[in-house]
Amino acid sequence: MKKQLLTILMGCLVLGASAQKAVVSLDASQAKTEIDPNIYGMFSEHLGRGIYGGIWVPKDAKVKKEGRIRMDVVEALRKIQIPNLRWPGGCFADEYHWMDGIGDPAQRPKMINTNWGGVTEDNSFGTNEFMQLCHLLHTQPYISGNMGSGTVQEMSNWVEYLNFDGESPMTKLRKQDGVDKPYGVQFFGIGNESWGCGGNMTPEYYVDQFRRYATFARSYQNAPLKRIASGANSDDYHWTEVLMKGIPLGMMWGISLHYYTIPTGSWGKKGSATDFTEAEYFNTMKNCLHMEDLVTKHSAIMDKYDPQKKVALVVDEWGVWTDAEPGTNPSFLYQQNSMRDALIAATTLNIFNNHADRVKMANLAQTVNVLQSLILTKGDEMILTPTYYVFEMYKKHQGGKLVPLHLISPAYTVDGKSIDAINGSASIDKAGVMHISLVNLDAEKARTVTVDLTNTKYGKVSGELLDAKTVTAINTFEQPGNVKTTGFADYKLSGSPENQILTVNLPAHSVVMLDAQ
């Protein structure tokens, strides 16, 4: 049957390529792997207006607040059910000394944020403020510990302050700060980008340091620590090999991977967030799709040492990185967010979903006002970006069972270069509803997708669409509703209950979520 289906699919590709059709086969009976909700995590660093102004506002700010936490941002993030939030960095993490950020805010020492503009950090937003934010968000904290400039004892004390429920110097200090019970933090990074801003280490040196620091970053009763090793920069496969070979599997819960989609592919001039040609758009999407190669190849290395997949691949920094908006501080990394960025988010999340056997956590960089943000603020105003709406659509995948998706896509070709026009992923939730997310990367052409729903019997389909007039479309404070989700009904369910076919017409540069039940 499978061989026959493959023959049919290949035939459809050959006959239908000129009609710009894609063919998808889904078999619900093969849905076994859970899509970890933590794939949909966020990242907020002490960088530009990410924390200060984006989350933590002055006492006299005219927005709804809990303490100094702005609740319009909190309520928007609650709606998309973010599962975890990574903090305090990023590069900032390895110059951050956590004890400077506890106690009376008026007595906290100030520091220089040497990584991001040399601005003064007043430490008014520290550990307990971050934990209050996570409580308000109903999300899990993911803390990055300072290995670069911090000591083993400093990291050990931080974990004790966070998680120990007995009598000790750190619990006494926590109680003096008004927190009687431990927080029970699970996710803890042992350094960040240790190959670069976290210390410019070799992987061999980092392995030795990880083993030392991780030994003293202890699990306490009712607070098992999930230690995350500082993994590779994009395609540094040697780094992954050395870490997997040198770190005992039981010592780390996960190993990180960082990769940013750079429109030009160059860290010099990265390209504009809003002013780009179709050729530049195509190159950006080609760079975005490189995530598939990275996840596949790093996973293959991990499989050699961990065939049972006990160690998670944690892509805890990802997203599009463009030049900062003209007229803003280039060190603050403030960029607008277009329909192109939404397509990057949707495509990347499809990749993570489809690798759910190894990818157990990911964190978009960054949540508010920095890089590929979900939310932009200006004083007391707030807008949602196109990327936000992707996460709102895709939250249905969280915790679902991955349905293996076999996709044959027509090519999207620009200047003689080609990528797949269509990508997607699918899951089944606990109620038995199948969620199918489809992305059309073609900037100009609508595409038809034929979905073969093998081993399914669905009687009802509903849909949601995210698209815009152009790939450069953005939401602004003057026009916040330019790009947002709408209902979608350009599909047809046909065939017998034993052989159902769903035909979907995807508009150009669009994201569609279909729910079948």
Q: Would you state the structure tokens that stand for residue 28, as one six-digit string? A: 């619900």
DSSP string, 91-140: GGGGG--GGGGSS-GGGPPPEEETTTTTEEE---S-HHHHHHHHHHHT-E
- The question of whether 381 is a catalytic residue gets the answer no
- Kindly state the helix (H) or strand (E) to which residue 392 belongs, with its residue range: helix 386-394
Q: What is the DSSP letter of 394?
A: H
182 in Cβ contact with 248 (< 8 Å):
no
Beta-bridged to residue 454, according to DSSP, are 27
Q: What are phi and psi of 264, to 5 degrees?
A: -85, -15
Long-range contacts of 440-444, Cβ-Cβ distance < 8 Å, separation of 24 or more: 440/506, 440/507, 440/508, 440/509, 440/510, 440/512, 441/285, 441/343, 441/347, 441/412, 441/509, 442/20, 442/412, 442/508, 442/509, 443/278, 443/281, 443/282, 443/412, 443/471, 443/508, 443/509, 444/278, 444/508
- The question of whether 154 is a catalytic residue gets the answer no
Task: Count CB atoms within 10 A of the CB of residue 408.
Answer: 20
Pairing label, strands 510-516, 434-440: antiparallel
Helices 152-163 and 169-176, axial angle in degrees (round to 10): 60
Distance set, CA 254 to CA 140, 183, 368, 497 (Å): 16, 21, 26, 42
Task: Count CB atoms within 10 A of the CB of residue 379.
Answer: 11
What is the residue whose two structure tokens read 């799709």?
Answer: 289
How does 347-378 read in b/e, with b if 16+ C-beta sit within 10 Å? bbbbbbbbbbebbbbbbbbbbbbbbbbbbbbe
Catalytic residue among 121, 129, 193, 464: 193
Catalytic residue among 160, 317, 392, 464: 317
Residue 7, Cβ density class (10 Å: 0-12 exposed, 13-18 middle, ≥19 buried): exposed
Residue 291's SS3 state is: helix
Give the C-alpha separation, 505 to 50, whole Å.
38
Question: Identity (one letter) of the amino acid at 197?
Answer: C
Residues annotated as catalytic (active site), given as ranges? 193, 317
